[in-house]
Structure 1
Amino acid sequence: MQAVLEAESFCDIVREHARLQGSTTAFTYGDETISFAELNEGSNRVAHGLEALGVKKGERVSFLGKNHPLYFEALLGAAKIGAVMTPVNWRLAAPEVAYILADCEARVVFVGEGFADVLTKVRPDTPLVEQVIGIDAPDHAGTDYRTWRDGFPAIPVSANVGLDDDALQLYTSGTTGRPKGAVMTNRSILSSRNAADQDEMRKWQEPKEGDVTLLAMPCFHISGTGTGIGTMVAGTNSIVLPEYDPTKALDLIENYNISKIFLVPAAIQILLNHPRISEVDFSRLQYITYGASPIPLELMKQAMEVLGCGFVQMYGMTETSGTIVALDPEDHKPEGSPKMRSVGTPMPGVELKIIDQDGNELPVGTVGEIATRSSKNMSRYWNKPEATTETIDEDGWLRTGDAGYLDDDGYLYIHDRVKDMIISGGENVYPAEVENALYAHPKIADVAVIGIPSEKWGEEVKACVVLKAGEALSEAEIIAHAREHIAGYKCPKSVDFIEALPRNPSGKILRRELRAPYWEGKDRAVN
């Protein structure tokens, strides 16, 4: 697959697969299949269509909907003219959707089934949106994607797109309550998924003829879009689920001989608890890759016993275009081992170091902030130069916001978080975002949000609330209020009513004091 080494964008690789193995299936969705030749031609039509709408290189287009193979066709079409796909988390509340569409300045939005009403609701707050195109969306009365696409030629577009051009923009939760758009280039995407570096690839990374990947994680995350781009680069088939459904996942594993899956630990647990789990034949399943949060050792042992495949733990973030550290199957021991407490060793080309608050490198075994440098790193935060400078220094080192340490063998251990982020079911939640929503309630005087351990989700959101004098408010009322302003997964699962929040002399909330009782007895402060 020498063509990958010479590629200037991931679009070049799809073109090459279309030339060499055009009839090979790229995506499967229900009864529908899309070959690499069809994917290439369809994305050519999209590229011409976007140009006809006036979309130019460097501009953003958006997608609001559940997973769909035509999302990847639209992503490719945009990338072929140097435009940048910006998928929006469909689980967000309308004000959050409006913010992202306005922030990325998208003039064209692709909408999936079930989300036309959301777009209608936010249109007054998104004046830049000029065109909405429905992908298999009967609830959308405007332009139909397939009809629109097929009105343009399938011939290649003529555009100058290079490795350092923007290619994808994914939004991450922000410490100040506003999400930030992490901008990935063709270089960072290909560095994470370059199938040509065979000599450096780990065995579980190697693409094999006949590989079938289950794409079950959401495409508004790097886990979903990254999986789809990865299989396009590898030239293999992705079976696309609109959203994670354990019953459908088990059916697809049986019926399509699924060989690879990426899941978050909560999804693995849900799969193992399914009543059909003992009836399913997993013999064709080669690897389950997992990440976004740690996995309990007992759950890992159960998964290894029941599923019988290789497991790979991945550590990375949107800002690193996905995985930068991995714990190989060989390090997963059923009886457990110290290395299983780690997230593994750096991927090829990835540098790691542990630093103190001033950026000084710390010795082996010392806990500090994890910093990384590689071509996988994002180029910047969209329209946020100060946030970019705070995250990436002049030498290209990116601060992850996670606290950890390295051992003598180069294995990375996650100890805590430098930032206050909560990871619940693989979703990032920043306390400030939740607190801003709760502060809007007229009866709340003060509030702090923390993450506490959860058997099902890894962590869950808890609000510590101080009510105004003489006011009364129930836990249910607070949670209901939050749901009006933010996505359901960000809302508190429980509320503690307290008289005052603990603060230091400068007034900063001491979250560790609030968290401490819930994490007592645990050897790390992430679950």
Structure 2
Amino acid sequence: MANLFDPVRRHADTHPDTVAIRGDSSASGGFTAWTYHQLRSRSINYAAALVESGLRAGDRVLLVAPSVPEFVVAYLGIQVAGAVVVPINTMSTQHEVDYVLDDARCALVIAWHTLGSAASAAAQVHGVPVWTLRPGADEGPASTEVRDRDLDDTAAILYTSGTTGRPKGAQLTVSNLLSAGVIGVECSRSTRLDRTGTGLPLFHVFGQASVMMTTFTAGGSLSLLSRFDATAMMAMLRRDRLTVLVGVPTMWNAMLHIAAEVDPGDFAQLRIAVSGGASLPAAVTREFRARFGCTVLEGYGLTETTASATFTDIDRGAKVGYVGRATPSTRIEVRDDAGRPCPPSSIGEIFIRGETVMKGYWERPRDTAEVLDDDGWLRTGDLGATDADGDLRIVGRVKDLIIRGGYNVYPSEVEEILFAHPDIVEVAVIGIPDDYYGEEVAAVVVRRPGSVLEAADVSAWARERLSAYKIPRVIQFVDTLPKGATGKIVKRAIETR
């Protein structure tokens, strides 16, 4: 029997005065810092109020809040009460909230005080009560017992982005999330002396499992940005003397573009920087190391694997273009179209098995059976290849593969080449319909401010470095690329002319 609250409860007993969490939790810019003792007390008090209201073990609770300390209190309070947390994007529309409320059959909505309109409107339609989460999240001095749970109990339901069909709720168990914390500690070698910071949203699996659970498992402190901003990230790095910084490629790229505000000395105490969510362009890795003397280590995971699958070995260091080897208690296989393991360097679909693989999709046995076999292997839909050392390289999604005139074009390979151009800040490569070739390669580019880069320049750059069939024939310039909550580029939202 266990509970996701166990790591916080354990450290509150052994090191009650250690700061557990820091962050901005008020509209006026107020700053919050709570110790493990305070976090335990507030979470138990919050759980007591939930139980008093009639919430039962196993009930689903919709949680919509930014990355503030109060999110953590509500999240842990739901766990103490033995219920299931259903975190959603703070930018969700009423229609999107309505869908999740109905699909998960939530018994309660908890919404941050500045974000309640969409959630409240949807809840009213379904007759679901709404609690307002306010700064402090102080529900009074009441107390309740921490409910023991089976390791296979569903602790959280996280809805996937819905690239095909309607979003599906990945059921992450008590064991999945506790294991993610243990694996994260082992891979990062975190201790209670570490001070971890992130601009990731906690409602996303990366921030929730890889960052929050890892930090609390180690007993360190977690610094949060309620909304990512490169300048704010640097200020947090300095203020809290962070030893671990976690982000996605667009965040590292944004930090490179405020270099005038950055002193390499700011990174002196930083032990590791961790990147995930998407492949980190080699150009960013090299520039980050050259400018700040800091190496960014990559990992790979999905919502369905509780954000954990591979990580770069700290001792060996980063291998440019790769996301590391399988994490502890995890197996990775790259398989061909016939389901046979691929030899090193051969591209195939990535399959994952291990302690962090989800229980299944909420009330979708057919969808679950399509991706999860009886032996626990998860079919990811990602394309990749391993090298002789077992390190994994991600080349794209199966559905993103561009087939131009019978030749396979992997978007990430083309993006890597284009991103190395000094006047290209961001780029996304996609396939578009073509009457002759079936699909054509298109590149959507964000130029460096002040650049006069033209399509012909991009074509010439690609022609010198890529085979003819991989060269983008359609090149479009935009001011920004659409991004999801973590800063990952959302290709399905890109429109080409």
TM-score (norm 1): 0.74
Note the C-alpha offset of 1:456.
4.2
SS of the residue 1:298 aligns to: helix
**Which of 195, 207, 213 is the matching residue for 1:212?**
195
Long gaps (5+) in structure 1: 1-6, 137-143, 334-338, 423-449, 465-500, 505-509
The whole-number CA distance in structure 1 between the counterparts of 2:123 and 2:215 is 35
Count residues with an aligned counterpart: 429
Structure 1 residues 404 and 94, CA gap change in structure 2 (3 angstroms): same
Hey, what does 2:224 align to over in structure 1?
240
CA distance in 2, matches of 1:216, 1:113: 20
Q: Is the 8 A contact 1:250 1:280 kept in 2?
A: no
Contact 2:429 2:441 in 1 (8 A): no
Match of residue 445 from structure 1: none
| Counterpart secondary structure, 2:320 | helix
User: How far off is 1:221 after superposition?
Assistant: 1.0
Would you say 1:268 and 2:268 are equivalent positions?
Answer: no
- 1:135 matched to 2:124? The reply is no
| Separation (CA, whole Å) in 2 of partners of 1:15 and 1:34 | 14
Using a 3 Å threshold, how does the CA distance of structure 1 residues 61 and 359 change in structure 2: closer, same or farther? same
Which of 342, 354, 361 is matched with 1:362 structurally? 342
Matches within 5 A, 1:78-227: 78-125=78-125, 127-136=126-135, 145-146=137-138, 149-150=139-140, 153-154=142-143, 156-157=144-145, 159-194=147-182, 201-202=186-187, 205-226=188-209, 227=211
Q: Percent identity?
A: 28
Give distance in 2, aligned partners of 1:420 and 1:58. Answer: 37
Q: Deviations over 1:130-151 (max 9, x none)?
A: 2322323xxxxxxx943xx21x
Is the CA contact 2:288–2:295 (under 8 Å) kept in the aligned structure 1?
no
Determine which structure has greater relative contact order: mean sequence separation of CA pairs < 8 Å that are 6+ residues apart, divided by chain length: 1
What displacement does 1:48 show?
A: 1.7
Report the counterpart of residue 72 of structure 1 in structure 2.
72
Answer yes or no: is the 8 Å Cα contact 1:133–1:145 preserved in 2: no
- Check the 8 A contact 1:370/1:400 in 2, yes or no: yes
1:167-226: per-residue Cα shift (whole Å, max 9, x none)? Answer: 12211112433211111111111222117x98xx34xx2223431111310112112112
What is the Cα deviation at residue 100 of structure 1? 1.8
Task: Summarize deviations over 1:479-522 as a string: whole Å, max 9, x none.
Answer: xxxxxxxxxxxxxxxxxxxxxx5589xxxxx9x71436779865
| Contact 1:81/1:160 (<8 A) preserved | no
Q: Alpha-carbon deviation of 1:271?
A: 0.8
The SS at the match of 1:213 is strand
Q: Could you tell me which of 284, 288, 294 is aligned with 2:273? A: 288
Counterparts of 1:346 and 1:122, CA distance in 2: 41
SS of aligned partner of 1:79? helix
Equivalent position SS for 1:97: helix
Task: Give structure 2 stretches of 5+ with no counterpart.
Answer: 25-30, 403-410, 445-461, 472-487, 490-497
SS where residue 227 of structure 2 aligns? Answer: coil
Aligned with 2:373: secondary structure? coil
Match of 2:312? 327
Residue 403 (1) aligns with residue 383 (2): yes
Q: What is the DSSP-based 3-state SS (H/G/I as helix, E as strand, rest coil) of the residue aligned with 1:109?
A: strand
Aligned residue in 2 for 1:302: 287
1:231 corresponds in structure 2 to 215
Q: Is contact 1:171–1:182 with CA below 8 Å preserved after alignment?
A: yes
Q: 1:515 to 1:330 in 2, by over 3 A?
A: farther
Using the TM superposition, give the Cα deviation of residue 391 of structure 1 relative to its aligned residue in structure 2, in angstroms. 0.8
TM-score (normalised: structure 2): 0.79
Q: Equivalents in 2 of 1:58, 1:34: separation in Å?
A: 28
User: CA distance change for structure 1 residues 305 and 258 in 2, over 3 Å: closer, same or farther?
Assistant: same
In structure 2, C-alpha distance between the alignment counterparts of 1:277 and 1:240, rounded to whole Å = 20
Most deviating of 361-370 and 299-308: 361-370
Q: Hey, what's the Cα distance between the residues in 2 that align with 1:263 and 1:385?
A: 33
Shift of 1:94: 2.9
Q: CA deviation at 1:306?
A: 2.3
Whole-angstrom distance in 2 between the partners of 1:209 and 1:193: 13
Task: State how far apart, in whole Å, the 1-side matches of 2:237 and 2:177 are.
Answer: 28
Secondary structure, in 3 states, of the residue corresponding to 2:439? helix
CA distance in structure 2 between the partners assigned to 1:458 and 1:350 by the alignment: 32
Q: Cα RMSD (Å) of the superposition?
A: 3.0
Partner Cα distance (2:248, 2:20) in 1: 24
Alignment equivalent of 2:439, drawn from 504, 513, 526: 513
Q: Return closer, same or farther for 1:129/1:367 CA change in 2, 3 Å cut-off.
A: same
Is the CA contact 1:311–1:329 (under 8 Å) kept in the aligned structure 2? no
Q: Name the aligned partner's letter for residue 11 of structure 1.
A: F
Pick from 2, 7, 16: which aligns with 1:13?
7
Tell me the equivalent position of 1:428.
none
SS at match of 1:513: strand
Distance between the aligned counterparts of 2:320 and 2:250, measured in 1? 18
Distance (whole Å) between structure 1 residues aligned to residue 263 and residue 387 of structure 2? 38
The separation in 2 between residues aligned to 1:395 and 1:209, in whole angstroms, is 36
Check the 8 A contact 1:326/1:344 in 2, yes or no: yes
Partner Cα distance (1:421, 1:35) in 2: 48
Match of 2:253, as an amino acid?
Q
Note the C-alpha offset of 1:279: 7.2
Partner SS for 1:159? coil
Distance in 1, matches of 2:201 and 2:320, equals 27
1:38-79 Cα distance to aligned partner (Å, 9 max, x none): 111211112221112222222211211211111111111111
What is the letter of the counterpart of residue 293 of structure 2?
G
